[in-house]
Structure 1
């Protein structure tokens, strides 16, 4: 009953509509009993029993778990632990150096430094400040023209020079690309399921673009939160707004999934667990998922709080898979046991790689589908009597081919025109509470737990309408100033990206085991300012970047370092290595090859819903499948040589119709945020520089310094190619070696060379013999390989 057979479990406890037994007795998919339908009373009894968790009175007893965390413990945590109390404004202490601060932020920082008898560092050089600003705000290096303007403006008025540049950078489209990528890190954005059977998410790119557009529009952060958790439940004034809200809920759908899981109940429980985990860590800085199996070991979160949230999330359906035609349910493959459909968007915005079909082509596809199903049924009959490995393999091949045909049919309407799909979630009917699972085991159901929020964060019990899931209420509560953590967590992340480390260094853990804030009064001040600004991310960034703290130099001070070696008091700037995207984008920008136009969709959208295996997309198309001209079709309907977002020839010269590597992106010249993020098959340019694991919530990336990075900068074809383009740019602008060296340093480092650097490089250009590439090529690649290129000082 629970383990099931080839079709999966007969019953999904608590989910009648998901249970095969219930669909059979209601004569929806299967017809059982075959000749007559059971009475409605009996059907209602079955429904009630399944909603109860389908207990077996012979072997099951509803377990009652006694919590070790009492109401008194929760109240004590509310009263004693800083993170569970609402932000309070505390004015900064008076400072002696009244001429140093420019903003309130400076006064908080300076007050702490003076208490420790430390002095803040002086201002950095203007070119270093501009380089910080451009990389921090848009992820690109400054141009020589921008450097010249800024240094001139700095001499007149440093404060106004910084303010002007900050406002200009915040208004650029590249701002959203830079800060959207920061959000995608914590949202564990990826374009495939990962795990043992790694299936693609061809519509994930819509969420990526939604995030970028939201940061560019400076969408209020509380609205941003609510859209991602309950956009499908928010009121919308137009189909366009409704579509945006639906796409936003892909936040809950893009997580890693084990689609090979045989047990549907286990799969559903794991999906809910992943959604609770990402919601609690990303928005609240808490790991509520630790209470899935038992009371939280450290924080005041009893196991019942986890299942109170589980009751909210289990009452929605997650759409993450493939468009499904009328044939879809009959052709689930052995590898992809847990199927899911997609949401149809209210507006027409099809995947650019989708194909339309004429009536004749559509008819041929349907005939091919029917023929394939006949083959499949005959093969299944043979397999029932002949259980050989060869027979099983042939069945799997036919299943995959039928699945591909079914997906093709599902991507178009009855007229053969592409349908617009997105990932996301939708509310289910007749919401019910979740049962506590003893030790988190699905076969050990316990008591029903009333839907609600973590008690330690709420002053009063939450009332949730019994006819609603409570997800909209949860989204509004998280995205409100009544929540003590939401604003703090986001403010802390923004501070980290601009200053180098968070006020709370454990960015996803504001609990008892996390780091304490180094400047609690400053954190609360920023959180309050954030809310009062209308939850404006750009306003907060403007306030931090125009502070005196932001423009300090990183110079070593022996006394300060001895007292505060980790720079927790922020007595100097933190030198930082550029992340993977900024390194790649900077090389493209300096070489003159960067294309700032947003590419449409993604190579994963081009490949369609397919499996990623050994770094390759597996189309799974039957060899006899052809279009109207009789030519074989490539991935997702592309004809002839590769076309689309990669221009002529597709990727790196690979022809269409063959398996493609999702990380072979050396011909792409768009920004790195648009590179495919396929779990377990990331681009080399990303992994070597600590791109995060897309299956995890990453608020703070690793920052390593490895031999592989040096080898990459020396030998990778992309780096070599950008060095050659950089050299051509220099040669076209000036033929004099001295001028070429000066221009190269300005582009690569944001400064002019020293006299010794100028002399050495000029001598190199004049004396280096050609060995397959020019000395100018070698010099340019050398600059890319320098530590100064990869660091923000």
Structure 2
């Protein structure tokens, strides 16, 4: 069986080996390696088979094409041991070593594989000097502490409503520009509702806002902002913004796309944090080092553990054969996410060499590696009583963390004693079959290829059984798990890798933080990894970047363009801020507000800048074609979630109750293949059985005129499992599987969940128009929209006006009324305007959904 827990026991370094261990290695291990292995697996022989070298400690741990030869403390993962016992490999090829020699190797690996063979250490010198770092600190704006500047004086004193307005207007006046007129009231309300809660305004909200606007626009905006900030939908909207940045998804992606059945816990944690207006500095620290933070209750401790899912949820190449390479890539992804998400700094660029542009030497990268490599990352299938068994395609896997509270996955099954015993019996039978195959006891007509296929089948079946047994305790009751990280007991520094290659280690690098970002390098105790100190430093008032980066993200989500347009890159290659004094002013204000995201949203949303119109002015455009100085509002297309949620809201079918878990949580730990969770053939078989059981229901449906045949319905259930077209929940709760995002999201430029997305791309393509014309979900919502209009308004004029009010937040113009009448005449020429058929108004409502005004914020 294949077993793996990332980071079991660190290899014993040369300086930590006792004299007794040296003697054991030199008398019982090295002679055997020289006599039996060096002939094929050493550098001096010139014959390195399978890429495996056993003539140095580092190369023995790294291994060859099949994985590490020795994993200290882990016999199952040590391929050298598996080879000498003739399990998965047969070495030496023609005979088996004596049992006492095998026992020596077993003892050696279990004691931590002490190995005194130390290669001469190469020292890599950086081309970035201390003087270069000091100059960058002194001269580059992002590395200097933000200052709360006083708002500048302006000529047009009647226009500003806040300091935000004064900073923007002062810049415009310097260039001889003027801000455009305010947008119309319904446009401002629509903008506020979509920006703050991701939903269109209701007719009642439109009516009340219009009345307040007439008497006092400032008070009207402030009132709506306060009401929207109190709604649970605020956390769902702004939580989704954060999930974009932290590359949230429910699977590993890449070649072997394995599910994350407990990723939804992190999604809910983010949404709840936004609704509670959790101080952002605490939010930061929980995600980087929640497992190390003090907790007063088990519930608080559980929340801290779930928060560290941030470090575990990234994409992973589970097909990577080499354990050391996998661990190095995992740490690299965690460093990249942490530094870019919170600091807007691409420190991971220094993995292979000094940073090409920023003053970040390669040693700074490996100083962070020392911090992150001293934790265990939990992301996969929990271990059953048989260990963590992966399928045949997955060469790297992990366990999960047990929560200190009872909160099982809602779809985890409870087993009776009989069911539990049956699973155990099946597992034992598979183990016996696998042992038979490994011993070569196959049928007389079977060849090696048949034996290999049998072995792979058995491993996959054992993995499925292990996944079922792992989620329950010995009594068959579901356990509560989460993804995340945990500290290891004995922290150690990392070794710099020449050109980032795992087989070319250089000098040790002391754990620490990027020098150019620190005024003073924090001290890290010898018995601590430094991760908690890193979290506290990143989420501190003294950090020069964290507040700036987050304020810029908030500004971008409300205004449409960041003050720094490169939201994830505040380095030399990023864009300079268009309003540096305003950015600093808001950053300091953010910290002073106890890092309150809602306070910052309120500050920006109640400004005069926010409610400017989008009217085009030729002279202003020629002076500032990118609108960097904000002489008008930026027209914006709604993002994918807002488009889908708006259709559900307008049709009246939206379900505001939070669903617990997701489709992935329901499927459990399994592989994603062709948009299907699990085995597609098995899913098809289950769908056919379900259809057979519900023949009566299908027959009644066909009598009502259903067009889908039985085979089409089965095909949709199987192949469209992840499209979730029938779901009525908010889009933030849809299952997000890497490389298999729901069609309703992917067609409208949904964030790539395999990377950090601070700014989504926005396109206008034919696929989007075709989706709005032909997709089943759009047609369903158009019909529900029409039903609502007919149900709630009785006369044709009232129905038309109501439809426009729901879709656009305004009544139709006279020309639109004429166009609607012409559309109805052309669509159904045999019916009058007053007696038009249901299909006609369905088509009219769908045309409103398909219009540009529905998809854009003006």
**What's the TM-score, normalizing by structure 2?**
0.84
Task: Give 2:764's aligned residue.
Answer: 705
Distance (Å, rounded) in 2 between the aligned partners of 1:536 and 1:662: 39
Q: Deviations over 1:221-278 (max 9, x none)?
A: 0000000000001001111111100000000001000111110000000000000000
Asked whether 1:487 is paired with 2:552, we answer no
Query: Does the Cα contact within 8 Å between 1:634 and 1:657 map onto a contact in 2?
Result: no
Query: Does the Cα contact within 8 Å between 1:127 and 1:750 map onto a contact in 2?
Result: yes
Distance (Å, rounded) in 1 between the aligned partners of 2:460 and 2:105: 36
Task: Give 1:786's aligned residue.
Answer: 851
Distance 1:369 1:660, change over 3 A: farther
Asked whether 1:776 is paired with 2:776, we answer no
CA positional deviation for 1:17: 6.7
CA positional deviation for 1:16: 5.9
Alignment equivalent of 2:497, drawn from 437, 458, 462: 437
Distance 1:381 1:18, change over 3 A: closer
Query: Does the Cα contact within 8 Å between 2:417 and 2:476 map onto a contact in 1?
Result: yes
Alignment equivalent of 1:508, drawn from 568, 579, 594: 568
Task: Give 1:449's aligned residue.
Answer: 509
CA positional deviation for 1:504: 0.2
Query: Does the Cα contact within 8 Å between 1:617 and 1:661 map onto a contact in 2?
Result: no
Alignment equivalent of 1:376, drawn from 434, 445, 465: 434
The 5-angstrom pairing of residues 708-747 of structure 1 reads 708-747=767-806
Distance (Å, rounded) in 2 between the aligned partners of 1:468 and 1:383: 51
Asked whether 1:198 is paired with 2:257, we answer yes
CA positional deviation for 1:328: 2.9
Alignment equivalent of 1:120, drawn from 175, 179, 189: 179
CA positional deviation for 1:2: 4.1
Asked whether 1:561 is paired with 2:621, we answer yes
Distance (Å, rounded) in 2 between the aligned partners of 1:193 and 1:361: 31
Task: Give 1:673's aligned residue.
Answer: 732
Task: Give 2:357's aligned residue.
Answer: 298
Distance 1:395 1:18, change over 3 A: closer
Query: Does the Cα contact within 8 Å between 1:431 and 1:467 map onto a contact in 2?
Result: yes
Query: Does the Cα contact within 8 Å between 2:565 and 2:575 map onto a contact in 1?
Result: yes
Distance 1:563 1:658, change over 3 A: closer
Distance 1:785 1:67, change over 3 A: same
CA positional deviation for 1:458: 1.0
Query: Does the Cα contact within 8 Å between 2:73 and 2:111 map onto a contact in 1?
Result: no
SS of residue paired to 2:68: coil
Distance 1:23 1:379, change over 3 A: closer
Distance 1:342 1:659, change over 3 A: farther
Q: Deviations over 1:684-733 (max 9, x none)?
A: 11111001211010000000011111111111111111111111111111
Task: Give 2:306's aligned residue.
Answer: 247
CA positional deviation for 1:34: 7.6
Alignment equivalent of 1:319, drawn from 372, 378, 384: 378
CA positional deviation for 1:43: 8.0
Task: Give 2:465's aligned residue.
Answer: 405
CA positional deviation for 1:478: 0.2
CA positional deviation for 1:4: 4.4
Alignment equivalent of 1:83, drawn from 142, 150, 155: 142
Q: Deviations over 1:747-775 (max 9, x none)?
A: 00111111111122135436641899611
Distance 1:756 1:38, change over 3 A: closer
SS of residue paired to 2:186: helix
Query: Does the Cα contact within 8 Å between 1:602 and 1:676 map onto a contact in 2?
Result: yes
CA positional deviation for 1:513: 0.5
Query: Does the Cα contact within 8 Å between 1:112 and 1:569 map onto a contact in 2?
Result: yes
Task: Give 1:629's aligned residue.
Answer: none
CA positional deviation for 1:394: 1.9
**What's the TM-score, normalizing by structure 1?**
0.91
SS of residue paired to 1:266: helix
Q: Deviations over 1:527-555 (max 9, x none)?
A: 00000000000000000000000010010
Query: Does the Cα contact within 8 Å between 2:66 and 2:322 map onto a contact in 1?
Result: no
Distance (Å, rounded) in 2 between the aligned partners of 1:44 and 1:737: 82
Q: Deviations over 1:438-462 (max 9, x none)?
A: 0000000110000000000112232
Alignment equivalent of 2:656, drawn from 592, 596, 603: 596
Distance 1:548 1:653, change over 3 A: farther
Task: Give 1:627's aligned residue.
Answer: none
Distance (Å, rounded) in 1 between the aligned partners of 2:405 and 2:651: 39
Task: Give 1:613's aligned residue.
Answer: 673
Structure 2: gaps spanning 5 or more residues: 1-59, 88-97, 695-700, 702-709, 831-836
Q: Which of 1 and 2 has greater Rg? A: 2
CA positional deviation for 1:36: 6.3
* Higher mean C-alpha deviation, range 670-679 or range 90-99: 90-99
Structure 1: gaps spanning 5 or more residues: 624-631, 642-647
CA positional deviation for 1:323: 1.3
* Higher mean C-alpha deviation, range 376-385 or range 223-232: 376-385
- Root-mean-square deviation over aligned CA pairs: 2.9
Distance (Å, rounded) in 2 between the aligned partners of 1:703 and 1:505: 15
Query: Does the Cα contact within 8 Å between 1:710 and 1:785 map onto a contact in 2?
Result: yes
Alignment equivalent of 2:214, drawn from 147, 150, 155: 155
Q: Deviations over 1:495-553 (max 9, x none)?
A: 00000100000000000000000000000000000000000000000000000000100
Query: Does the Cα contact within 8 Å between 1:290 and 1:296 map onto a contact in 2?
Result: yes
SS of residue paired to 1:448: strand
Alignment equivalent of 1:581, drawn from 626, 641, 645: 641
Asked whether 1:145 is paired with 2:215, we answer no
* Higher mean C-alpha deviation, range 201-210 or range 392-401: 392-401
The 5-angstrom pairing of residues 36-185 of structure 1 reads 49=115, 56-57=117-118, 60-185=119-244
